[in-house]
């Protein structure tokens, strides 16, 4: 495969993504074994039929991957909409203004490099090109510092992701440029306010997150664990995701 970061367009590229998932999740982390195809050494599910697989290739080998769901491609499945608490967002936004990112991983050989950031650079290019206003992820606690540094915020109650365990949905309000700059997000270096002229719902989205966060705080101790971490997060920290990485990137690169 040709080096670079791009959305998979061939079956070979998509299968390479499934193979890396298998290697990381099943072989390295001993997770999702019951959902894997052990004969083909692939990890895929029905959601992959409409997901956009992003791949990062270095020296002819797959170094990283993630999958992106965009409301402009197809309707979000009901279980996904429930898990990510999409309803309040879709009351303010059209489906094509929302995307969800899952299953980001980097090969063991490339961890500590800028691969994860290069993939997020391509995600942000997609976001701005398609005029998306909110990006959603789910997060385990040990990854929370990295996503807080990107500018994501926890906003609703935790749930058990099958085969993974407790995760909390987090939201990135694309048009909240001041927040990106305040936390030192590399996204604030990839974009500028001129890129975000289309974002007309940022204040409404912040109100949604504030309201949903208050509800989540009242709903149980597992949620408080995540929100307490959010409150204690140091904006000057350098989480694991960014160690060894340089942030001198632009959407036009």
- Look at residue 242 and tell me whether its pLDDT is greater than 70: no
Q: How confident is the model at residue 237 (pLDDT cuts 50, 70, 90)?
A: low
Q: What is the dihedral of CA 154, 158, 160, 164, to 10 degrees?
A: 30
Q: What angle do CA 228, 182, 219 make, to 5 degrees?
A: 25
> Region 199-207: what's the mean pLDDT?
97
Q: What does the alpha-carbon distance between residue 62 and residue 5 come to, in Å, rounded to a whole number?
A: 10
> Region 170-176: what's the mean pLDDT?
96
* pLDDT of amino acid 12: 95
Q: For 39-55, how does the pLDDT look when each residue is reduced to its tens digit (9 = 90+)?
A: 999 999 999 999 999 99
- Look at residue 235 and tell me whether its pLDDT is greater than 70: no
Query: What residue ranges define each of the domains in the chain, with the CATH number in brackets?
Result: 69-239 (3.40.630.30)
Q: How confident is the model at residue 241 (pLDDT cuts 50, 70, 90)?
A: low
Q: What does the alpha-carbon distance between residue 139 and residue 145 come to, in Å, rounded to a whole number?
A: 10
Give the mean pLDDT of the chain. 87
For residue 118, what are the contacts with CB-CB under 8 A and spacing of at least 6?
5, 56, 64, 249
CA 147 vs. chain centroid, Å, equals 8
Tokens 């949620």 sit on residue:
223
Q: For 67-99, how does the pLDDT look when each residue is reduced to its tens digit (9 = 90+)?
A: 999 999 999 999 999 999 999 999 999 999 999
* pLDDT of amino acid 249: 43
Query: 154: how many CB neighbours lie within 10 A of its CB?
Result: 24
Strand, helix or coil for residue 160: strand
Rounded to 5 degrees, what are φ and ψ at 30?
A: 55, 45
- Look at residue 252 and tell me whether its pLDDT is greater than 50: no
* pLDDT of amino acid 248: 44
Q: For 124-144, how does the pLDDT look when each residue is reduced to its tens digit (9 = 90+)?
A: 999 999 999 999 999 998 888
Percent of the chain's residues with pLDDT above 70: 86
Per-position DSSP letters for 116-127, written without gaps between them: HHHHHHHHHHHH
- Look at residue 223 and tell me whether its pLDDT is greater than 80: no
* pLDDT of amino acid 191: 86
- Look at residue 65 and tell me whether its pLDDT is greater than 80: yes
Burial (Cβ within 10 Å: 0-12, 13-18, ≥19) of residue 241: buried
Q: Are 194 and 112 in contact (CB under 8 A)?
A: no
Q: For residues 213 and 245, which has the higher predicted lDDT (pLDDT)?
A: 213
Q: Are 70 and 96 in contact (CB under 8 A)?
A: yes
Q: Which of 115, 123, 7, 104 is nearest to 54 (CA)?
A: 7
Strand, helix or coil for residue 210: helix
Tokens of 106: 């980097």
- Look at residue 32 and tell me whether its pLDDT is greater than 70: yes
């Amino acid at each position: 495969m040709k080096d670079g970061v791009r959305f998979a367009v061939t079956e070979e590229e998509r299968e390479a993504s499934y193979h890396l998932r298998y290697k990381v999740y099943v072989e390295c982390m001993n997770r999702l074994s019951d959902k894997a195809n052990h004969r083909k050494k692939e990890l895929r599910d029905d959601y992959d039929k409409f997901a956009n697989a992003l791949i990062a290739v270095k020296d002819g080998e797959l170094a990283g991957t993630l999958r992106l769901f965009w409301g402009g491609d197809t309707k979000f499945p009901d279980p996904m909409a429930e898990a990510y608490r999409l309803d309040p967002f879709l009351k303010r936004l059209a489906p094509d203004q929302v995307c969800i990112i899952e299953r980001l991983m980097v090969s063991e050989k490339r961890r500590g490099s800028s691969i994860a950031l290069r993939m997020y650079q391509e995600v942000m290019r997609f976001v701005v090109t398609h005029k998306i206003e909110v990006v959603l992820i789910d997060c385990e606690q040990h990854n929370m510092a990295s996503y807080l540094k990107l500018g994501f915020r926890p906003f609703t109650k935790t749930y058990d992701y099958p085969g993974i365990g407790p995760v909390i949905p987090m939201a990135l309000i694309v048009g909240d440029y001041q927040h990106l700059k305040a936390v030192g997000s590399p996204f604030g270096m990839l974009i500028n306010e001129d890129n975000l002229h289309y974002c007309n719902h940022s204040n409404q989205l912040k109100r949604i997150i504030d309201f949903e966060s208050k509800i989540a705080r009242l709903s149980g101790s597992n949620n408080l664990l995540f929100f307490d971490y959010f409150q204690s997060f140091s904006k000057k920290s350098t989480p694991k995701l960014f160690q060894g990485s340089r942030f001198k990137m632009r959407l036009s690169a």
